[in-house]
Amino acid sequence: MQTSFNKLFMFSVSALMIFSPAYSETNEALLKQISKGFSTVAKKATPAVVYIESQGAEKTQKLPRKQGPIENPFDQFNDDFFNRFFGFPYQQQQPKQKKQDMVRGSGFLVSEDGYIVTNNHVVENATKVTVTFNNGKKLLATIIGTDPKTDLAVIKIEEKKLPFLTFADSEKLEVGDWSIAIGNPFGLQATVTVGVVSAKGRSQLHIADFEDFIQTDAAINPGNSGGPLLDIESEVIGVNTAIVSGSGGYMGIGFAIPSNMAKRIIEQLISDGQVTRGFLGVSLQPIDSDLASFYKLKSTNGALVADVVKGSPAEKGGLQQEDIILNYNGMAVDSISSLRNDVSLMAPGTKLKLRINRDGKEKDLNIVITSIPEEAAQPGSSIQKLGLIVENLTPELSQKLNYAENEGVVITQVEPGSPAAEAALSPGSLIIAVNRRKVSNLEELTKAVQAAAKEKRVLLMVRQGESVRFVALHFDE
């Protein structure tokens, strides 16, 4: 139906051009038929789209990033160390501020018994979530699960026999297909806008950790977040999540999480309340023309293995540094992000077959995916009490941050209001010594900080770029 509808539209436009300025009954009928298609989608989908208000106690919100053009009206996304494992540029965290806030957004029902999909940033840290239907009915919702890494969340209301939307196959989506957004921009309920799919597979936008966005020119404004992006058959092709804007309003570029990714995340959130991701354990980089020439490759397709994490599935499966991954499970590596996203959606125990190029010869490797390791500094640990999230300085991070390998342990996140924040420590800084003893890895740092915790204070030697300073911190209880 999608294809035929597009052809119908093109035919009608052509007809208008041919017969203009004469306006025939045939042209009018064609335009009415097109209009009818959009209104049918709106009537079918609008009852399943809801307005969401989330009230949080001292809601934490990141200040807008300044390094790129992407702007999210409720920008609360965090990059984390999994980005570096897969070769994405390190992004320094922006400072955070705490404030009382009411976040407003959209959502849509995916079951008749009250499960609602929205964005994580719409309900993150909320103490009270209120859902309003198009008919004005209001209900309190419970947060079932959230996934900050894709900016998805599931909430639930206690109601039965509700209208709901189904998911389309976003893999079948083509650039130029119709896209219809329904949401509540600026609090205006049940707003319908129409556009086309401008692009697929948008990544490295630094909106979320796992990115494979649909780009659309359907008008998306603040408040549309979490609402559905629909095809002409009223099926969900994406979850609206962000816009590009210099003013906070519509400028013709919006992004939606594709339905295939969203569906798998949502299923896990509903069944388990959390998401378990597959882990390969490599740092990858794209192949440019210079690398292709050096490695004597016929094209720039594939991904170069820059580093392999010790003890990871990749290492156990025989993957080596400088291997070139050509395809996985029979699919060509079109981009690093697509490989990374697909692996992340694999269940632990899944078998991954890689075709690689090693020293000019192709060979197959069989790797068993595991779950992603937990972050090193767990809540309640001594490092966490200082307000720090840290990780080992990998060769890749060493190069990107311009530090010597094994020089120390890198800070990846600083908790607002913590002792570390009060001492003006920032992501990207390097801890090189604890209580005058050098530390070169996470294990050494953890032991040193745990020992210092007994004295309720610790002296850190920290490098930031070319500058080195000493910082005395007291432990938060």
Q: How far apart are CA 163 and CA 134, in angstroms?
A: 12
Q: How far is Cα 223 from Cα 53, in angstroms, rounded to an integer?
A: 10
Helix (H/G/I), strand (E/B), else coil: 462? strand
- Spatial separation of the C-alpha atoms in residues 288 and 401, rounded to whole Å: 22
In one letter, which amino acid is 180? Answer: I
**Alpha carbons 420 and 415: distance in angstroms, whole number:** 8
Q: Tell me if 146 sits within 8 A of 120, measured CB to CB.
A: yes
CB 195 within 8 A of CB 238: no
3-state SS assignment for residue 413: strand
What letter does residue 167 receive in the DSSP assignment?
B
CA atoms within a 13 Å half-sphere pointing along the CA-CB vector of 274? 3
The pLDDT score that the predictor gives to residue 388 is 87
352-377 b/e (C-beta count within 10 Å ≥ 16 → b): bebbbbeeeeeeebebebbebeebbb
What is the model's pLDDT at position 21? 52
Residue from 83, 84, 80, 64 nearest 72 by CA: 64
Closest C-alpha among 383, 389, 431, 445 to residue 414: 389
Q: What are phi and psi of 137, to 5 degrees?
A: -70, 135
* List of residues 6+ apart from 467 with CB closer than 8 A: none
Residue 369 · residue 348 · CB < 8 Å: yes
Query: Within 10 A of 227 (CB to CB), how many other CB atoms are there?
Result: 34
d(CA 212, CA 263): 14
Catalytic residues: 121, 151, 225
Chain centroid to CA 438: how far?
Answer: 36
For the CA atoms of 95, 98, 99, 102, the dihedral, rounded to the nearest 10 degrees, stands at 90
- The predicted model scores a pTM of 0.64
Rounded Cα distance, 28 and 36, in Å: 12
Under 8 Å between Cβ of 74 and 56: no
Strand partners for 243: 71, 254
Token look-up 């690398």 returns 291
**Nearest residue to 265 via CA among 252, 275, 255:** 275
CA–CA separation, 281 and 354 (whole Å):
14
Q: Checking DSSP bridges between strand 324-328 and strand 351-358, what pairing results, if any?
A: antiparallel
Tokens of 428: 């990207």
* Residue-by-residue pLDDT tens, the chain, 477 positions: 555 455 445 544 554 444 455 556 777 777 777 777 788 888 999 999 999 999 873 443 333 333 333 333 322 223 333 343 433 333 344 444 444 468 889 999 999 999 999 999 899 888 999 999 988 899 999 999 999 888 999 999 999 999 999 999 988 989 989 899 998 877 677 889 888 999 887 766 666 667 778 898 888 877 888 999 999 999 999 999 866 554 455 566 888 999 999 999 999 999 988 888 888 988 788 888 888 888 888 888 899 988 787 788 999 999 998 999 999 999 998 878 788 888 988 888 999 999 999 999 999 999 999 987 654 344 446 787 888 888 888 776 777 788 887 789 998 878 877 888 888 898 889 999 999 999 988 888 888 888 888 888 899 999 988 888 999 998 865
Pair 176, 197: CB distance under 8 Å: yes
Rounded to whole angstroms, what are the CA distances from 360 to 274, 292, 295, 319? 42, 11, 8, 15
CA–CA separation, 421 vs 419, rounded Å? Answer: 5
